Structure formats: structure tokens, C-alpha cells
Amino acid sequence: MEIYFTKMQGLGNDFILMDYIDGLDYSKLSKKMCDRHFGIGADGLIVVNPSDMQTSDTDISWHIYNSDGTEPQMCGNGIRCLAKYAKDRALVDKNKFSVNTLKGIVEPEILNNGEIRVNMGAPILKKDKIPFLGSENLNFSIELDNNCFLANAISMGNPHCVIFVDNDTKMLAEIFGREIENNPNFPEKTNVEFVRILSRNEINMDVWERGCGITLACGTGSCASVVAGILNDLLDNKVKVNLAGGSLLIEWDGNPDSPVYMTGEAKTVFSGVWHEE
């Protein structure tokens, strides 16, 4: 079988996008296609307009699979790539449209400068919805190898553990990311963000993504980090988030019921044909 695909990236967080084909095991296919030695290489596989997600209430839908075959509810960099893919392939005929995801409806908008602004919905702060089993989800302690971190559990449709530090965020993500991902207080595991505050309007962030490991960027993680910073009165309502692959602009007014907005780029890398045996 020949599968036509497009490789895309958002700040170096890379994805394989393909139109839905009935009868494929996409979890298994993601592992093969995303392999950086024996496959195309990517952080995830995005399947556009799967039959079980199509609805008259939205313009387009998706499933996204991590490189290990697991399926997250949401991905910020991935949704920007999906938006560009859909517009470039004329799957939608407008610049602002709705996408059905496992999180719910998400609304990206392609701006005049080519960047994509996404209404990511309101953050999820209730412990049972994150889900998080600890007593408090803001400023709780995590002790690892004689290190004690103050962490914040927040969901943007997928769980995040945000930790503010003064030292090397990349090193900490590499050393502690996997263990925190599997912390028993996160029954669905968690993404892990180490964040250094530069000012009330700018942060540096490194991420260990659930199901992927270290990646160059994480859109939902950037949103969760800014939400955590605002809730702790560390950040203002509009923040530049510097990641290894580039920068995102995150906006949130601090009202728990208000949506978080994410703005950033998405790029097409190449297209090709995958031969599935």
C-alpha cells in the first residue's frame, strides 16, 4: 500500500501528516513512520479527518499519535501544522476554522503574516480532570535524588507538570523528565516543563513530552507554563516563551474560564510516499 504523507514542523516539533485511510492500525504505524533510523522520523503522526471524529459541528478533525504509539488528547505545535496542512490542501476554505480533537473543539486562525493563532480553550485546573491525585495541584513538592522541586499540575487537554527553576532547564528536563512523567500522582502520566523566568513577559522552557521524551518545543506545555506563572503571580498576561526550536506567544487573562491563545509558526518540510507492507 502506498501512503501519501507530508512532513511538517512547528518550532522543530515535527510531525507526519496523512489523510485518513480505513483499516490501518495507526498506533503501530506511528511507531514505524516516526522512527528516525528506519522510518521517516518525527515526534508524532497526525491523521486528518478520521471517520470516528468527523462531525457536522466542526470543519475538520484529527487523531494524533506519539512516536511510541500512544494517543494524546491535544498537541499545540501539531494543531498549527494541521491548520497549515488543511489550508494548503484546500480541506478548508477559510483562515479561521474549527477542529474536533479528543480534548474538544479547538479553533486555529491563519494570520496575514503566515503565523497561526490558536484558541486552545480554557486551562483545566480541577484535580480530577487533569488528572492529578495529590492534595494540591499548585506548588506541591516533588523530591528526586535529594532535590526538591515545587511543581504545578495543569491540563491543556493533556496533563502537564510545570516547575519553575533558576538553573539549566534543559539539563533538568534530561535528568528528571522521565521519572516525573511517571510520577504516581499522574495516573495518565504527564508532560514535564522546566521553566526559567527572564521577566514578567518572557520565559525559557525545556520540555520532556509524555510518550516522546525531549522535544524541541511543546505548544500545550508553553500554555500550561504561562498559566502556572500567572496563577502564581510570576508572569503578566502576554508572555514570550523561548524553546529550543524557537518562540511562541502565549496570552491568557487569568480568568479560569477564559481561553488561552497560542501564536507561532508551522512549516512544511517535504512530502513523499510511504510503502506499507
Annotated domain spans of the chain: 2-121+266-275, 138-258
The pLDDT value recorded for residue 145 is 84
Which three cell numbers, joined as nine digits, stand for 253?
487573562
Question: Which of the four pLDDT bands, split at 50, 70 and 90, describes residue 5?
Answer: very high
2-121+266-275 carries CATH number 3.30.1490.20: no
**Claim: this prediction has a pTM higher than 0.85:** yes
C-beta atoms surrounding 147 within 10 Å: 11
Question: Which of the four pLDDT bands, split at 50, 70 and 90, describes residue 42?
Answer: very high
Return d(Cα 138, Cα 136) in angstroms, integer: 6
In CATH terms, 138-258 corresponds, of 3.30.565.10, 3.10.310.10, 3.40.50.300, 3.90.25.10, to 3.10.310.10
C-beta atoms surrounding 190 within 10 Å: 28
34, 75, 81, 223: which is the annotated catalytic residue?
75
161, 212, 218, 223: which is the annotated catalytic residue?
218
Return d(Cα 214, Cα 224) in angstroms, integer: 17
Q: 8-12, 21-25, 144-148 — which is least confidently predicted?
A: 144-148
pLDDT tens-place string over residues 225-265: 999 999 999 999 999 999 999 999 999 999 999 999 999 99
pLDDT tens-place string over residues 46-91: 999 999 999 889 999 999 999 999 999 999 999 999 999 999 999 9
The pLDDT value recorded for residue 63 is 97
The pLDDT value recorded for residue 174 is 97
- Span 187-196, average pLDDT: 97
75 given a catalytic annotation:
yes
What lies within 8 Å, CB to CB, of 135 at 6+ separation is none
* Nearest alpha carbon to residue 186 among 127, 242, 246, 109: 127
223 given a catalytic annotation:
no
* Nearest alpha carbon to residue 99 among 162, 173, 49, 36: 49
* Nearest alpha carbon to residue 59 among 30, 79, 29: 79
pLDDT tens-place string over residues 202-216: 999 999 999 999 999
Cβ–Cβ under 8 Å, residues 235 and 226 = yes
The pLDDT value recorded for residue 112 is 96
Q: Is the peptide bond before 131 cis (omega within 30 degrees of 0)?
A: yes
Q: What is the DSSP string of 232-255?
A: TT-S-SEEEEEETTEEEEEE--S-
